[in-house]
Amino acid sequence: MLVIENYTKSYGEKKAVDNLSLHIKSGEIYGFIGHNGAGKTTTIKACAGILQFDEGKIMVDGVSVKDDAISCKQKIAYIPDNPDLYEFMTGIQYLNFIGDVFQVEPKIRSERIHKYADIFELTDDLGQAISAYSHGMKQKLAIISAWIHEPKLIIMDEPFVGLDPKASHKLKEMMREFCDKGGAIFFSTHVLEVAEKLCDKVAIIKDGQLVKSGTMEEVKGDTSLEDVFLEMEGEEC
């Protein structure tokens, strides 16, 4: 579903990501781990088609992000690390805006909006201006907006930040359900316990370079993901 091959992105002289290759298949939840500034967001933004890159290729469902970004974006839902949404809209206006852009039929859209809003207990607040939402509520709205057009691939940057435990639990369930139906999820996280329990595969990036990737068992072996990560970072366990 998502193929990243020899992806390189530089900011001036500095290489933020260097020759990264990852393959994410349908049905997989793929975790992306690394320290702050390792290049996770730079990679995720390029996959979402909002960051131009220098070398390599990124393909979504066989279509190149560079050559046909619009087709790729039709199949993607992207949730950034900070849910900066249109504060001049109400929650329902924002969801309808996303539904209109993805041309989701009104009846189906309405059902999905209310299904997911009920899951996140946000239905009563959909009529409020987003400017009045808390960080967690904005994050929930961003998640609902990602699910309403039923994408093939969901790309998320730190999706659990700001969510309460119940919402985090619901999101994990939704992620699993989405992938079980044939979708794919590529997300970054700092919460290693979540990654360990949720992900089918994981990649660890350090200073822009891939240091380890594979199934959870291949990456962590008999130890915990935290131990592996700290070892990669050169810390004593």
Partner 1 sequence: MLKILIKKQIFQMYSSFFRNRKNGKKRSMISTIVAILAYVVLLVGCLGGMFAYMGDSLCVPLHKVGMDWMYMTIFASVALAFGIFGSVFNTFSSLYQAKDNDLLLSLPIEPKDIVLARLSGVYVLGAMFSGTVMIPGIIVYGIEAKPGVIPILCAISLYIIVSLFILVLSCMLGWLVAKIATKLKNRSFVTVIISLVFMGLYYFVYFRASEVLNQVAIKSMVYGEKIKGVAYPLYYIGTAGAGDLIALLVCTVLAVLLVCVTIVVMSKSFLTIATSQGGTVKVKYKRKEIKGKTVSQALFAKEMKRFTSSANYMLNCGLGTVMIVVAAGAMLIKGPSVIVVMNKLFKDEAGIIPVLFCLALCSIAGMNDITAPSITLEGKNIWIPQSLPVKPWQVLWAKLKVHLSLTMVPVLLCCISAIIVVKPNIMIGVWMIVLPLLYVLFTACFGLIANLFFPNLNWTTEIAAVKQNMVVLVSMLAGMFLSIGIIILYMAWLGEFVRGEIYLGGCTLVVFALDVCMIQWLRTKGSEMFKKIG
| Interacting residue ranges for partner 1, rule: CB under 8 A | 48-50, 52, 70-71, 73-74, 76, 78, 80, 82, 84-86, 88-89, 91-93, 96-107, 109-110, 113-114, 123-128, 132
CB of 127 to partner 1, least distance (A): 4
CB of 109 to partner 1, least distance (A): 6
Tell me how far apart the alpha carbons of residues 215 and 217 are, in angstroms, rounded to a whole number.
Answer: 5
Contact status, residue 20 vs residue 4, Cβ threshold 8 Å: yes
CB of 230 to partner 1, least distance (A): 31
Beta bridge partners of 153: 76, 184
CB of 60 to partner 1, least distance (A): 11
Beta bridge partners of 99: none
User: Across 27-87, where does the E strand assignment appear?
Assistant: 29-34, 55-60, 63-64, 76-79
The one-letter code for the residue type at 78 is: Y
Cβ proximity to partner 1: between 118 and 218 the closer is 118
Q: Whose structure tokens read 């891939």?
A: 210
Cβ proximity to partner 1: between 60 and 216 the closer is 60
Both tokens of 97, joined, read 């805006």
Cβ proximity to partner 1: between 51 and 232 the closer is 51
Contact status, residue 150 vs residue 115, Cβ threshold 8 Å: no
Cβ proximity to partner 1: between 103 and 234 the closer is 103
CB of 113 to partner 1, least distance (A): 8
The torsion angles phi and psi of 126, rounded to 5 degrees, stand at: -65, -25
Cβ proximity to partner 1: between 51 and 211 the closer is 51
Tell me how far apart the alpha carbons of residues 12 and 33 are, in angstroms, rounded to a whole number.
Answer: 24
CB of 97 to partner 1, least distance (A): 6
Instruction: Give the end-to-end CA distance of the chain in Å, rounded to a whole number.
Output: 36
Cβ proximity to partner 1: between 19 and 93 the closer is 93
Query: What is the SS3 assignment for 188?
Result: strand
